[in-house]
Amino acid sequence: MLGAFRSALTTPDLRRKILFTLGIIVLYRLGATIPSPGVSYPNIQQCVEGLKGENQSVYSLLNLFSGGALLQLSVLSLGIMPYITASIIVQLLQVVIPRFEQLKKEGQSGQAKLTQYTRYLTVALAVLQATGIVALAVRGQLFPGCQQEVIPDGSVLNMVVIVVTMTAGAALLMWMGELITERGVGNGMSLLIFTSIAARIPAEGGKILTNSGGFVFAVICAFGLVIIASVVFVEQAQRRIPVQYAKRMIGRRMYGGTSTYLPLKVNQAGVIPVIFGSSLLYLPQLLGQLAGNQNTWWARFIQNYIVDPSSWVHILLYMAMIIFFAYFYVSITFNPEERADEMKKFGGFIPGIRPGRPTAEYLGFVLSRITLPGALYLGIIAVLPNFFLGVTGGDQSGAQNFPFGGTAVLIMVNVGLDTVKQVESQLTQRSYEGFLR
């Protein structure tokens, strides 16, 4: 990996792309520290420092993807989460709405139209999310127990200005991510998420070192390396289905007759099931805070059993949701019938399996078999932090952070592997000399 980046830095074109990507990342981190207009920066720092883990857990996923900027109410506080949510919604709608499914099959022009819909939906979701965060901050529910006024001027005009600023920040981040994808290296949105998570690692490591001591910190770092190695191993695992293409005569030339394989990843769903499960588990508490009544029996039940990461109810629900969404998302993104029709169209077949419907049934059978270990792997990695809350001082906000595994390590490893593959692929295109020199 280091050799690939060393070679990339010596290639002028790739070096320019890497420097452009690093420049966008620096601008993103600077924007994450600039407070929104009308927000009292000293007061919000005092509230963040006094915020307890059980009160921060409801915002842990959003705060993770924003690199800690959400609870700072900065210009880029919403992070890239509105775009991620919009992308997932548009992808799911491609199965439900025939118009979206038709656009998906139209190729590049249809994909451009879907991208435009995703941008519009991102802005709408950013407005809703910013409105909810600002409303909680004005009512004093964003930082429970803090006596400082985060937004001293609670007028409607000031709230509108803050919401517009945060929405503009989300749109700016979306544009910056697309710039990285077009002119930089790797997927822009993924790299911005990677940067947000990486920015929190020093603070979380320092917190563990302060609360638990050097020995526990060293053990957790070693365990984190084992988790990363395990994630890399599973993410690279594939079930390769052999595919044979028959020979065909087109004019006076013969085509086909080659043997290849259809790769099916063990973790076909990626990190999407973990994001869905985390969001749904924290949604009840967020709705309860917006309702403003925290003393009812159902509010206490949600806080003690559903949201509390150390609760067995939380762990079992989390695992069940991840497994369900893994099967659900794989069934949407991978259609065995379409793959079987494509293979039949180009003269391909699986040895021992008849083309057409038997091939589709075989692909569906194999996919369902490998999805189960992939879903269990996602669930185990996601709930591992819950077993280490007591070791690290019981801070529930650490349940999603890098040293323990969970969503953070899955995203970082996936983005790191994809970026390295893209760099190596671009190096191969520039240095390939063929068989004859």
CATH of the domain at 278: 1.10.3370.10
In a domain, 190, yes or no: no
- At residue 176, the pLDDT reads 92
Residues 152 and 271 in one domain: no
130-151 pLDDT, tens digit each: 898 888 888 777 776 677 778 8
What is the Cα 121 distance to its own chain's centre?
A: 18
Last residue of some domain: 128, 154, 184? 184
Q: Of 408 and 58, which is predicted with more confidence?
A: 408
Asked if residue 305 and residue 402 are part of one domain, the reply reads yes
- The verdict on residue 393 lying in a domain is yes
Assess whether 211 and 172 both reside in one domain. no
| Residue of 251, 259, 243, 234 lying closest to 371 (CA atoms) | 234
Instruction: Tell me, yes or no, whether 167 lies in a domain.
Output: yes
The reported pLDDT for the residue numbered 123 is 93
13 part of a folded domain: no
Of 405, 403, 390, 303, nearest to 57 by C-alpha is 303
Q: Could you tell me if 163 and 131 are in contact, meaning their C-beta atoms sit under 8 angstroms apart?
A: yes
In this prediction, residues 405-412 reach a mean pLDDT of 76
Q: Which residue has the higher pLDDT, 420 or 436?
A: 420
d(CA 260, CA 226) in angstroms, rounded, equals 33
Structure tokens at 148: 């400082």
Confidence bin at 65 (pLDDT 50/70/90):
low
332, 424: one domain: yes
228 belongs to a structural domain: yes
Residues 395, 348 share a domain: yes
Residues 57 and 120 in one domain: yes
Residue 288 to residue 304: CA distance in whole angstroms: 13
Task: Give the range of the structural domain holding residue 150, as residue numbers without chain letter.
Answer: 32-184
> Binning pLDDT at 50, 70 and 90, where does residue 390 land?
very low
Q: Is 432 helix (H, G, I), strand (E, B) or coil?
A: coil
How many domains does one find in the chain?
2
Structural domain contains residue 11: no
| 423 and 288 co-located in one domain | yes
| Last residue of one domain, picked from the residues 134, 154, 184 | 184
44 part of a folded domain: yes
Instruction: Answer yes or no: is pLDDT of 107 > 80.
Output: no
Query: Is 213 in the same domain as 179?
Result: no
Angle at 160 between CA 155 and CA 162, to 5 degrees: 100
* Residue 223: inside a domain: yes
Instruction: Summarize pLDDT for 69-87 with one digit per residue, the tens.
Output: 677 788 888 888 888 888 8
pLDDT for the residue 309? 65
**Buried (b) or exposed (e) across 8-41, using 16+ Cβ within 10 A?**
beebeebeebbeebeebbeebbebbebbbebbbe
Residues 297 and 400 in one domain: yes
User: What is the overall mean pLDDT for the chain?
Assistant: 79
